[in-house]
């Protein structure tokens, strides 16, 4: 009997350990499943707004107003974990939605003014730049109500992550501009006729590289201004990008440096620096001046050496 | 015949180590700057060579500064302000005129001071101004991502790149003059030999190309 007694005890222990492992696994899976789900409040909203066909026709303008939100894109966006009523009026908690909820003022900077947000991204500086942008100052009636959401869909917006292929970044960023300005890509359009190799530029360069001021802001966290320029004020001087201030090469180098650091770490970056771009240190003026200086110095030293040699021979000739 | 022990082992080791790195950096730097030139290194090869040599040069320069702080060698870099202008004029007159006429050298190498005033000022400029600028701009280049986007209204990376480029050209000029000046010892090879053996040996006859100077 005593020989059999450890058996059930061992089984109980095994069962206890198995239960513990299962409990931990279930908790982990449960937590993972919970984190993939939208916040509980949002599920209620998405029951209606998740339908692709949810829309109404505006009684005044007659336009069809799309009220649908793609739940998948929302979950993958920077706001995927934010409750709908964190941005939208609290009145939207109730259904039917009260009329006064429609008077809400959606304000990105208002939410992003918290200190930790400002450090990671300068929203207030962006608001200042946008105020000077053609999108804010233009008198085209289509610009009425233009705001952050006109370009950045808050229900789908994702920040570019380091390591994303440059071609994809260019395509995604330009898609924002082209969602309104598609006509500029028309082969018969005159807008970019002056630009050599138009299609190559569009595939490799973001619209904002030329359509924002050359002088960057003093904010270290931001590489490109939100002050979008009118066509006639935009950069159309080739050397501004290709040799003058090397603005584009610098931006490319900065992005590739971030990739290097993320991939190789500090020491790997210091040795291999795969970010380096040919031509980054080019300056025709410094090159010409320095090479001329070096040439003159070399000639001067050779002349000095020759003088010393002749003096030496002369002094040898005088010796008895 | 006089002999002074001017170059202790660590100075000679540092000197030839730096000289080798200087050549490597010059070749690899030119290969990056003038990428595509057929007789230079390939860009992909030049980048890691340049960076590794730059890291070693930094360590060497720190060793040089620390060595000068804690050994007697540092005294050769202390400027004697009294009579500076007079010595400077005399040295320039000698290089520009006297050296061709067999005039006596206005400066005599001693254990207390191995550099004439022109050498001292140019070495001070190279080692304590250009080298720190070169090293700082090189590291700033590598870690430009931590710099602000702009400085004084200009792109930071552009400022760093132009500083590195201009200082590098300045050091190439220094190197050319340095190579030439070491031939102005008692014989063409006197100073080179001194930097190899540590001993500055002179016959005292002032035979060939002007009286002695030290190499570094």
For A44-79, give one letter per residue: b (16+ CB within 10 A) or e.
Answer: ebbeebbeeeeeeeeeeeeeeeeeebbbeebeebeb
Smallest CA-to-CA distance from A226 within A218, A238, A217 is with A217
| More confident: B44 or A22 | B44
CA distance B149 to chain A (A): 5
Residue of A nearest to B178 (CA): A301
pLDDT at B200: 83
pLDDT at residue A36 above 50? no
Cβ pairs A/B, distance under 8 A: 118
The burial class, CB within 10 Å (0-12 / 13-18 / 19+), for B207 is middle
pLDDT at residue A28 above 80? no
Highest mean pLDDT among A187-191, B26-30, B70-74, B182-186: B26-30
At what angle are helices B9-33 and B156-181 packed, to 10 degrees? 130
CA distance A161 to chain B (A): 15
Smallest CA-to-CA distance from B103 within B179, B182, B184, B177 is with B184
CA distance B52 to chain A (A): 5
CA B98 to chain centre: 25
The architecture CATH gives domain B2-202 = Up-down Bundle (1.20)
pLDDT at A39: 66
Helix count (H) and strand count (E) of chain B? 8, 4
pLDDT at residue B178 above 90? yes
The burial class, CB within 10 Å (0-12 / 13-18 / 19+), for A87 is middle
Distance of CA B152 to CAs A48, A102, A174, A209, B158, Å? 53, 46, 30, 21, 12
How crowded is residue A225: how many other Cβ atoms within 10 Å of its Cβ?
A: 23
Do the Cβ atoms of A304 and B208 come within 8 Å? Answer: no
Do the Cβ atoms of B173 and A311 come within 8 Å? Answer: no
- For residue range A248-289, list pLDDT tens digits in order: 777 778 888 888 888 888 888 888 888 887 778 888 889 999
Do the Cβ atoms of B180 and A215 come within 8 Å? Answer: no
Distance between CA atoms of residues B53 and B26, nearest Å: 10
pLDDT classification of B22: cutoffs 50, 70, 90: very high
Instruction: Map tokens 């006089």 to a residue.
Output: B2
Specify whether the CB–CB gap between B133 and B110 falls below 8 A.
no
CA distance A311 to chain B (A): 5
The residues near B62 (Cβ < 8 Å, ≥ 6 apart) are none
Smallest CA-to-CA distance from B114 within B187, B205, B216, B188 is with B216
Do the Cβ atoms of A297 and B101 come within 8 Å? Answer: no
Token pair, residue B114, equals 């191995």
pLDDT at A123: 78
Token pair, residue B107, equals 């400066």
- For residue range A287-310, list pLDDT tens digits in order: 999 999 999 999 999 999 999 999
Predicted ipTM of the assembly:
0.86
pLDDT at B212: 41
Which chain A residues are closer than 8 Å to B180 by Cβ?
301, 304-305
Do the Cβ atoms of A293 and B155 come within 8 Å? Answer: no
Q: Is the dihedral of CA B82, B86, B90, B95 positive or negative?
A: positive
Distance between CA atoms of residues B52 and B104, nearest Å: 45
pLDDT at B107: 84
Do the Cβ atoms of A217 and B162 come within 8 Å? Answer: no
For the CA atoms of A41, A44, A49, A50, the dihedral, rounded to the nearest 10 degrees, stands at 100
pLDDT at residue B35 above 90? no
pLDDT classification of B171: cutoffs 50, 70, 90: very high
The residues near B109 (Cβ < 8 Å, ≥ 6 apart) are B4, B6, B200, B202, B212, B213, B214
- For residue range A86-107, list pLDDT tens digits in order: 888 777 878 888 877 777 777 7
Do the Cβ atoms of A270 and B157 come within 8 Å? Answer: no
> Are β-strands A55-57 and A64-66 bridged in parallel, bridged antiparallel, or unpaired?
antiparallel
Token pair, residue A233, equals 């004020």
């Amino acid at each position: 009997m005593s020989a059999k007694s450890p058996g059930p005890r061992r089984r109980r222990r095994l069962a206890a350990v198995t239960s513990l492992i299962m409990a931990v696994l279930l908790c982990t899976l449960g937590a993972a499943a919970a984190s993939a789900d939208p916040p509980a409040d949002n599920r209620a909203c998405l029951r209606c707004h998740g339908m692709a066909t949810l829309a109404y026709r505006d009684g005044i303008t007659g336009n069809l107003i799309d009220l649908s939100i793609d739940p998948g894109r929302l979950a993958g966006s920077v706001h995927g974990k934010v409750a709908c009523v964190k941005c939208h009026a609290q009145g939207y908690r109730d259904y039917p939605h009260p009329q006064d909820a429609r008077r809400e003022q959606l304000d990105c900077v208002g939410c992003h003014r918290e200190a930790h947000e400002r450090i990671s991204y300068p929203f207030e500086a962006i608001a200042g730049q946008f105020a000077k942008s053609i999108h804010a100052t233009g008198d085209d009636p289509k610009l009425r109500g233009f705001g952050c959401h006109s370009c950045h869909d808050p229900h789908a917006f994702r920040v570019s992550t380091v390591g994303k292929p440059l071609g994809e970044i260019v395509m995604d960023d330009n898609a924002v501009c082209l969602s309104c300005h598609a006509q500029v890509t028309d082969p018969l359009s005159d807008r970019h006729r002056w630009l050599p190799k138009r299609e190559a530029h569009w595939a490799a360069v973001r619209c904002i590289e030329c359509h924002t001021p050359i002088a960057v802001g003093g904010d270290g966290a931001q590489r490109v201004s939100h002050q979008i320029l009118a066509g006639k004020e935009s950069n159309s001087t080739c050397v501004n990008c290709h040799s003058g201030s090397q603005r584009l090469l610098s931006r490319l180098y900065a992005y590739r440096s971030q990739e290097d650091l993320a991939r190789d770490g500090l020491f790997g970056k210091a040795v291999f620096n795969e970010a380096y771009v040919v031509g980054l240190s080019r300056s025709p003026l410094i090159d010409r001046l320095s090479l001329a200086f070096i040439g003159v110095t070399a000639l001067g030293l050779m002349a000095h050496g020759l003088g010393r040699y002749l003096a030496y021979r002369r002094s040898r000739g005088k010796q008895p | 015949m006089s002999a002074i022990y001017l170059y202790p082992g660590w100075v000679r080791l540092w000197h030839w180590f730096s000289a080798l790195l200087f050549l490597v950096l010059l070749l690899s730097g030119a290969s990056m700057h003038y990428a595509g030139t057929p007789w230079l290194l390939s860009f992909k090869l030049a980048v890691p060579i340049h960076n590794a040599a730059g890291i070693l040069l930094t360590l060497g320069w720190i060793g040089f500064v620390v060595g000068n702080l804690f050994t007697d060698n540092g005294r050769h870099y202390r400027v004697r302000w009294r009579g500076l202008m007079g010595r400077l004029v005399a040295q320039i007159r000698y290089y520009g005129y006297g050296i061709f006429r067999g005039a006596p050298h206005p400066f005599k190498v001693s254990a207390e001071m191995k550099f004439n005033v022109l050498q001292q000022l140019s070495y001070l400029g190279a080692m304590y101004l250009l080298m720190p600028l070169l090293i700082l701009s090189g590291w700033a280049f590598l870690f430009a991502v931590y710099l602000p986007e702009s400085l004084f209204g200009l792109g930071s990376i552009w400022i760093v790149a132009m500083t590195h480029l201009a200082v590098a050209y300045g050091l190439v000029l220094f190197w050319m003059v340095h190579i030439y000046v070491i031939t102005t010892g008692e014989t063409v090879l006197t100073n080179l030999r001194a930097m190899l053996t540590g001993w500055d040996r002179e016959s005292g006859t002032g035979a060939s190309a002007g009286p002695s100077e030290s190499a570094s």
